[in-house]
C-alpha cells in the first residue's frame, strides 16, 4: 500500500498544479462569471474523506455544501457511511468551477457471525442466530482543492465531473495522507 501511495503522490500533485494553472490562465482572459444564486446537484460521489454513495450538493453564491451517504446491511455486515463537505468557489465559468473544500466522514462497520443454527422443520429452513463480534468506527477529515468540469451535450444535459484532492486526517488524527475525491453530478436547472 505504501508503494501505491508513493506512486500516486507525484501524479496528484501534478494534477493539482495543472488545475491551478488552468484556473489562473482562464482568469486572465477575464471570462469569470458570478456563480448562480442557487443550484442543486444530485449524483454519485466517492472519496476518502467525503464518503461514498449517493451525493447531494447545493450551491448558494460562492458557498456550497455536499452530503454523501451509503447505508448497507446484510445478515453478515452492517455498514453506515456519511459525509458532509463545505465548499467555496475560487473561480467559475461556463465549463468549469475551481474551489476549496473541507470534508468530514463518519463510518461504522459491524460484522455478525453465526453462533447457533436451528433447523425449523415446519418451514424447512435454517434459522441462524448471530451476534456482533467485530465493530469498527471512525472519523476522517480533509482539506484541499477541487476542480469541476461541466459536460454539455447538444441537448444541454447539465452533468458535471468533480475531482478533489487534498490532505486528509484519519483514525482520530493519528494518520494523515493525500486524499482523492470524485463525484459525477446531475445539475438541476
Q: Hey, CA dihedral for 85, 105, 184, 145, is it positive or negative?
A: positive
Nine-digit cell string for 78: 452492517
Angstrom distances, CA of residue 41 to CA of 21, 31, 62, 131: 26, 24, 15, 40
Q: How much is the mean pLDDT over the chain?
A: 80
What does pTM read for this prediction?
0.71
The model's pLDDT over 1-59, given as tens digits with 9 standing for 90+, comes to 555 555 555 555 555 555 555 555 455 444 445 555 558 899 999 999 999 999 999 99
Which pLDDT score is estimated for 127? 75
Which pLDDT score is estimated for 114? 73
84: pLDDT strictly greater than 80: yes
Q: Hey, CA dihedral for 42, 45, 51, 52, is it positive or negative?
A: positive
Which pLDDT score is estimated for 189? 66
Amino acid at each position: 500500500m505504501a508503494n501505491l501511495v508513493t506512486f500516486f503522490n507525484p501524479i496528484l500533485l501534478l494534477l493539482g498544479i495543472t488545475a491551478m494553472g488552468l484556473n489562473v490562465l482562464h482568469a486572465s482572459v477575464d471570462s469569470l462569471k458570478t456563480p448562480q444564486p442557487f443550484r442543486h446537484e444530485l449524483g454519485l460521489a466517492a472519496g476518502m474523506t467525503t464518503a461514498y454513495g449517493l451525493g447531494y450538493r447545493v450551491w448558494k453564491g460562492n458557498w456550497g455544501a455536499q452530503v454523501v451517504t451509503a447505508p448497507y446491511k446484510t445478515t453478515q455486515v452492517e455498514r453506515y457511511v456519511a459525509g458532509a463537505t463545505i465548499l467555496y468557489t475560487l473561480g467559475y465559468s461556463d465549463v468549469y468551477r475551481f474551489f476549496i473544500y473541507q470534508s468530514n466522514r463518519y463510518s461504522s462497520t459491524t460484522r455478525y457471525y453465526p453462533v447457533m443454527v436451528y433447523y425449523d422443520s415446519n418451514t424447512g429452513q435454517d434459522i441462524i442466530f448471530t451476534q456482533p463480534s467485530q465493530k469498527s468506527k471512525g472519523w476522517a477529515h480533509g482539506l484541499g482543492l477541487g476542480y469541476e468540469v461541466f459536460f454539455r451535450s447538444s441537448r444541454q444535459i447539465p452533468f458535471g465531473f468533480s475531482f478533489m484532492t487534498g490532505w486528509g486526517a484519519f483514525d482520530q488524527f493519528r494518520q494523515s495522507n493525500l486524499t482523492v475525491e470524485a463525484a459525477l453530478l446531475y445539475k438541476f436547472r
